[in-house]
Structure 1
Amino acid sequence: MVGMNEPVLARLQQLMTLREEVETLGSGGPWIPAADWTDEDTHLILHLDIPGVSADSLELLEEGSTVTVSGERPALARLIGGDRPAGAFRRSFTFPQDVLPQTGEAQLRHGILSVRFQKRHPTIDVHAEDLDAHPAE
């Protein structure tokens, strides 16, 4: 039975080593900001949580069906403890629907980056009562 546990123990040791390596990266390591997509009928909007990141450090690269956002949050001086990541980040996203190339418009407000892209095929939401609003004479 001891032989059966050796692969599990080896994997556990690998995970422990990986965890130690990640923890030693500290404030200089890469981080992954949380992101969401929303559908606004004629546009798609990418929302990225990046508090503490200045607009000057942000880069947005649109290539084909993907968009890549990168930037940097400076580490706090005289940090004595904590778990907020700092340093450079880079995330690539695949558009959930087709967009018109190079239509991205970025806005940074309250630590949230919103990038608005024009859809290639807008969603048209037609209600039956709208069609009946002007009856034929």
Structure 2
Amino acid sequence: MNEPVLSRLQHLMTLREGVESLTSSGPWVPLADWTDSDSHITLHMDVPGVVPDSLALHETGESVTVSGERPAPVGRLSAERPHGAFSRTLGLPVEIVPQTGQATLVGGVLCVQFEKRHPTINVEADEFSDTSSSHP
């Protein structure tokens, strides 16, 4: 074969290896969202199949780390869903009061609620009307 064909074949093989590594069952990272209320923020993380006793939460002043493990299915014939240990660190979107995290696990979703350091106050201001003074 000539040089350009071999070079192109090598390039295609490299691309194939890259694609295969993307679909392998390596480390996984659960998806997460933050929601905001007046006095709290809440982390919602998808952790279906994770062993509840393996879940751990570590909070610092600027971030929160959630770790755990989802075991591989017994007797599996193929593997598309990720499994194994995970650890995910997320930056806190607002300042929180340290050590106020309260966690619940319902339907495969981990929810951790944190108290805000500076709560948001939603106040509706009525239009100011001065009835005590009169204008000629």
**TM-score, length of structure 2 as denominator length:** 0.78
Looking at structure 1, the residues matched to 39 and 45 of structure 2 have their Cα atoms a distance apart, in angstroms, of 20
Instruction: Pick from 85, 94, 97 the counterpart of residue 91 of structure 2.
Output: 94
Residue of structure 2 equivalent to 1:70: 67
Structure 1 segments of 4+ aligned residues over 3 angstroms from their partners: 12-16, 21-24
Equivalent residue runs for 1:18-37 within 5 Å: 18-24=18-24, 26=25, 29-37=26-34
Q: Give the SS at the match of 2:53.
A: helix
Looking at structure 2, the residues matched to 96 and 14 of structure 1 have their Cα atoms a distance apart, in angstroms, of 39
Looking at structure 2, the residues matched to 126 and 117 of structure 1 have their Cα atoms a distance apart, in angstroms, of 22
Looking at structure 1, the residues matched to 17 and 85 of structure 2 have their Cα atoms a distance apart, in angstroms, of 23
Residues 87-137 of structure 1: per-residue CA shift (max 9 Å, x gap): 1111000011111111111111110000000000111111235x99xxxxx
Looking at structure 1, the residues matched to 76 and 36 of structure 2 have their Cα atoms a distance apart, in angstroms, of 40
Shift of 1:22: 4.4
Residue of structure 2 equivalent to 1:135: none
Paired-residue identity, %: 50
Residue of structure 1 equivalent to 2:106: 109
1:60 aligns with 2:68: no
Aligned residues: 124
Q: Give the SS at the match of 1:128.
A: coil
Unaligned runs of 5+ in 2: 129-136
Q: Give the SS at the match of 2:90.
A: strand
Residues 63-107 of structure 1: per-residue CA shift (max 9 Å, x gap): 120000000001001111241111111100001111111111111
Looking at structure 1, the residues matched to 15 and 94 of structure 2 have their Cα atoms a distance apart, in angstroms, of 37
Looking at structure 2, the residues matched to 102 and 47 of structure 1 have their Cα atoms a distance apart, in angstroms, of 18
Larger radius of gyration: 2
Instruction: Pick from 43, 48, 53 the counterpart of residue 45 of structure 2.
Output: 48
